[in-house]
Amino acid sequence: MRYFVAVAEELHFGRAATRLHMSQPPLSRAIKQLESDVGAPLFDRSPAGVTLTLVGAVLLGEARALLDHADRVRERVSAAAGAATITIGILGDGTDPGVARLAAAYGRHHPGIDIRIRDTDLTDPTCGLSAGLVDIALTRAPFDMTALTVRALRTDPVGVVLRADDPPARHDRLPLAELGDRRWFQFPRGTDPAWQSYWNGGRPREGPVVRTVQECLQAVLWNGTVGLAPLGHELPAQLAVVPLTDMPPSRVVAVWNEGDTNPLIRSLVEIATTAYRR
């Protein structure tokens, strides 16, 4: 199921194999075996790429629920056994250098701790914290912060991602108003309204629904869709990012449940405050 979810979210066997730290042939064999067990194809494969079939879309929701339940079972069993663990949710952006610095520093301070990482897509800005799947999340605001404690780690300027051959990509900077008639990528229905509004530039938009960073980039490449992204991240050569003149910066934050006194969380927050400084 983890293999299937990775391919379904990446919509690319090569990227899914990289994400799973495995080679592509055994991943392809596992998916074919799963399709045989299910009795129906889960993906449509073509030279243009991979897409979910109707059966695959149904299975994706069920698979995510199963994996979330499995994670909760493992956490409860570990807690009953008295294991010292902390589960960290990271919002679909593991390339942030702050994450690497934090991982190294936290490992030095707590060498005996079992650290678990839950990498999440863009549909849940709390990275599973609200569902009880993680102890602390490294994510981006804004979102519903009811009953949560938030520590700001860094602010990043935001720009619009465009195809490199798109005329506005030639500008040094742009106002949001110049993008008003363009299609923007959307997050699925039920996504936190404050989160959706921020990444839509503060007002309702129309465009394709995406869940992952890669899906956002592919929407720009294939459909000419526009979307927002923090500055400073590497993009494919076919894409460009233009700073926006009137967009508030994106806040990188650590967030945990209000009243949680776990010393491992407090330590991680203090170390992250230093690690995330530019």
Would you say 33 and 26 are in contact if contact means Cβ atoms under 8 Å apart? no
Residues 29-58: tens digit of each pLDDT: 999 999 999 999 999 998 888 999 999 999
Q: Does the reported pTM lie above 0.85?
A: no
Q: The domain that contains 240 carries what CATH number?
A: 3.40.190.10
For the chain, the domain total comes to 3
Q: Is 89 exposed, middle or buried (0-12, 13-18, 19+ CB in 10 A)?
A: buried
pLDDT tens digits, one per residue of 125-163: 999 898 889 999 999 999 999 999 999 999 999 999 999
Instruction: Give CA–CA dist 138/129, Å, rounded.
Output: 10
Amino acid 77: pLDDT? 66
**What are the tokens at 93?**
């952006």
Q: Are residues 195 and 242 in the same domain?
A: yes
CATH number at residue 43: 1.10.10.10
Residue 61 — φ and ψ, nearest 5°? -60, -40
**pLDDT higher for 147 or 84?**
147
Cα angle value 42/44/47 (rounded, 5°): 145
Q: Alpha carbon of 239 to those of 21, 173, 187, 264: distances in Å?
A: 26, 15, 21, 40
Same domain for 198 and 151, yes or no, is: no
Do 118 and 185 fall within a single domain? Answer: no
Please state, in angstroms and rounded to a whole number, the distance separating the CA atoms of residues 155 and 271.
Answer: 17
Top-ranked range on mean pLDDT: pick from 116-120, 171-175, 204-208? 171-175
Instruction: Identify the domain containing residue 213 by its residue range.
Output: 158-248
- How far apart CA 5 and CA 123 sit, in angstroms, is 15
**Are 41 and 168 in a shared domain?**
no
Measured distance CA(277)–CA(267) in Å, rounded? 16
Task: Report the percentage of the chain scoring pLDDT > 90.
Answer: 60
- Domain finish residue from 59, 82, 105: 82
